[in-house]
Structure 1
């Protein structure tokens, strides 16, 4: 049994937190003994504690917080941790520095961003990642960018994010149309991204404004989540006169209910690594339109043939893509059938868990 401490600065409810939770659900008490440590409290703490996972708080002010380094080393010795699995740069650097005090523990890092570093971080990467056992990139573009950021390519392994195909692929009778007063003849497209700057809601809302001018068909766009830009986006919708066309639901736990009540999912993000939301939707057999950024091209391409890629901020292009799938039911059905097949073959959680566990074992040998 391998003792793994999952370390995350903010324990919220986004894709990275989902990644940690699903790995723990798949591997804990079977192949590993999982523990969780965090800095900022959030929903993930509650979810993991409900699974029986011990959780701990370590204050982590910055990537070079020496107090956090000592606290982490102390906790790992107390729990006899074999490996720390980190998710972002701050906790990764702290974990690597903690190895100076505790050489027994190994560190493995999953990079969830596709972001170029400046000269200082590139130098630090070269120095500190020599202490790293293995690194996971969740998309091919992520690996390329990490190499350009000074990280040795031999340590980087591309393991796509994955979802529970059986759960997402088992249909539910959606109640969302009845709840929101949407009839069966209305075309519904959904976006479940958090209202943050990089998620492209303003771009999507402007595209909906263009769509309204190019079609006479009834449609509803459902925006389901919360976040700092929520009120700003509501004002944009009101200013554009789209109050009857766009519905804000707030944060919902029943995302599967929303997906199965929709005809299409739209991801309008400016930045992505490999979106869990897109994969979950595809596992439900629903086609996706997504921006052509980072790992989205690993999901939607000629091989998978399960959706359409558009360029970020191309409002006309996004509106045309939505209109195309709104008008072409045959193409939607083709994309939907291919969607589930792609997830089963490439983005399956069992595959992710097994490949990650094999890296855990390899890391302990190094």
Structure 2
């Protein structure tokens, strides 16, 4: 079975992590191909996996020229299924099917559905020609159903975490690198610096935590367009001694293992790879009650949820979790077990391949 993944570029996000995990853990009966608009940051990881990657420009959701080239590529390589990621790629996959009707089209929806106007109307039309739709959480599935997209086509398959890579690392030098005392409370969040990721709210909560007299450090892992704004806010609130920008890092398991609590302050999340990766490293998490995030916490006592914008609740949740050692150790014990049982790569790959097989049967 030959499966082509259509993704605009391989950058640093959750969809790219999903794709790499799927390919690395591929079943023997599935061969993967990739088409991108251009090379991105993580393109080298595809090359390391020895996957065939073709560059075909995708200029818009209506790019007929691109669709024709992709259809020709599919004929040449005897592709059975196109799995498309994001809106542009999903529309182009359907258009490619016009030129090569044997294709089966699978959409993967990584976000809560939030389109409006013409795009919303077109999405409903194009969805009729998709053979299957994967939603990465039940919250995503519900958002699609609310737009009258056929629920029979939609299957929820949770993102899978590489638990052999994201695992506790007992000895590392992260605290020494950042000059953090071994007994000081260390918080961490790893996300691109964009408004939707809620760093503004996190900083407000940390300001409240400091005012309660708590000694702590917080690692902000990543980069992005909001970095200057965040640096200015941290300076205004005199949190420079508490908050550390690490930049983009490859050693995420070491950073997580050195930390005490993971914070996910997002405005919205379909479901968070970062939370799952932290839990897989045995780190309890505090997260905003948004999107598909509750689907993680309702399955295990592994952290706490708060409402976005409630900075007092964020500070109190951190304080309560860390000061109650018995509760903290219980959540820590549950964290990795939850990921292994419910959010493993094995589960994701098996369910995805089963969906492939059903779509061509």
TM tier, smaller? over 0.9
CA distance in 2, matches of 1:65, 1:119: 20
**Partner residue, 1:227:** 224
Structure 1's unaligned 5+ residue stretches are: none
**Partner residue, 1:123:** 121
**Partner residue, 2:137:** 139
Return the match for 1:209 from 207, 210, 213: 207
**Partner residue, 2:50:** 52
Cα RMSD for the two superposed structures: 1.3
CA distance in 2, matches of 1:172, 1:295: 31
After TM superposition, list the pairs within 5 Å mapping 1:53-132 onto structure 2. 53-132=51-130
CA distance in 2, matches of 1:126, 1:261: 46
**Partner residue, 1:328:** 324
Asked if the contact 1:270–1:291 (Cα under 8 Å) also holds between the matched residues in 2, the reply is yes
How far apart are 1:57 and its partner, in Å? 1.2
Asked if the contact 2:35–2:54 (Cα under 8 Å) also holds between the matched residues in 1, the reply is yes
How far apart are 1:21 and its partner, in Å? 0.4
Return the match for 2:346 from 328, 346, 350: 350
Q: Within the alignment, does 1:3 sit opposite 2:2 as a pair?
A: yes
Return the match for 1:284 from 270, 281, 285: 281
Q: When the two structures are superposed, what TM-score results if normalisation uses the length of structure 1?
A: 0.96
CA distance in 2, matches of 1:125, 1:209: 42
Q: When the two structures are superposed, what TM-score results if normalisation uses the length of structure 2?
A: 0.97
**Partner residue, 1:26:** 25
SS in 1 for 2:274: helix
SS in 1 for 2:11: coil
Asked if the contact 2:10–2:16 (Cα under 8 Å) also holds between the matched residues in 1, the reply is yes
Asked if the contact 1:123–1:150 (Cα under 8 Å) also holds between the matched residues in 2, the reply is no
**Partner residue, 2:295:** 298
Q: Within the alignment, does 1:243 sit opposite 2:240 as a pair?
A: yes
Question: Taking structure 1 as reference, are residues 336 and 122 closer, same or farther at Cα in structure 2, changes over 3 Å only?
Answer: same
Asked if the contact 1:125–1:149 (Cα under 8 Å) also holds between the matched residues in 2, the reply is no
How far apart are 1:329 and its partner, in Å? 1.8
Structure 2's unaligned 5+ residue stretches are: none
Question: Taking structure 1 as reference, are residues 31 and 172 closer, same or farther at Cα in structure 2, changes over 3 Å only?
Answer: farther
How far apart are 1:119 and its partner, in Å? 4.6
How far apart are 1:116 and its partner, in Å? 2.8
Question: Taking structure 1 as reference, are residues 221 and 170 closer, same or farther at Cα in structure 2, changes over 3 Å only?
Answer: closer
CA distance in 2, matches of 1:150, 1:7: 25
Asked if the contact 1:125–1:150 (Cα under 8 Å) also holds between the matched residues in 2, the reply is no
SS in 1 for 2:356: helix
SS in 1 for 2:225: coil
**Partner residue, 1:317:** 313
CA distance in 1, matches of 2:183, 2:5: 46
Asked if the contact 2:168–2:282 (Cα under 8 Å) also holds between the matched residues in 1, the reply is no
Asked if the contact 1:194–1:227 (Cα under 8 Å) also holds between the matched residues in 2, the reply is yes
SS in 2 for 1:109: strand
How far apart are 1:185 and its partner, in Å? 1.6
Aligned residues: 361
Return the match for 1:275 from 231, 250, 272: 272
The one-character-per-residue Cα deviations of 1:84-119 (angstroms, maximum 9, x if unpaired) are 111111100100111010011111111000023325
SS in 2 for 1:108: strand
How far apart are 1:170 and its partner, in Å? 4.8
After TM superposition, list the pairs within 5 Å mapping 1:246-265 onto structure 2. 246-265=243-262
CA distance in 2, matches of 1:123, 1:248: 42
**Partner residue, 1:17:** 16
How far apart are 1:64 and its partner, in Å? 0.9
**Partner residue, 1:200:** 198
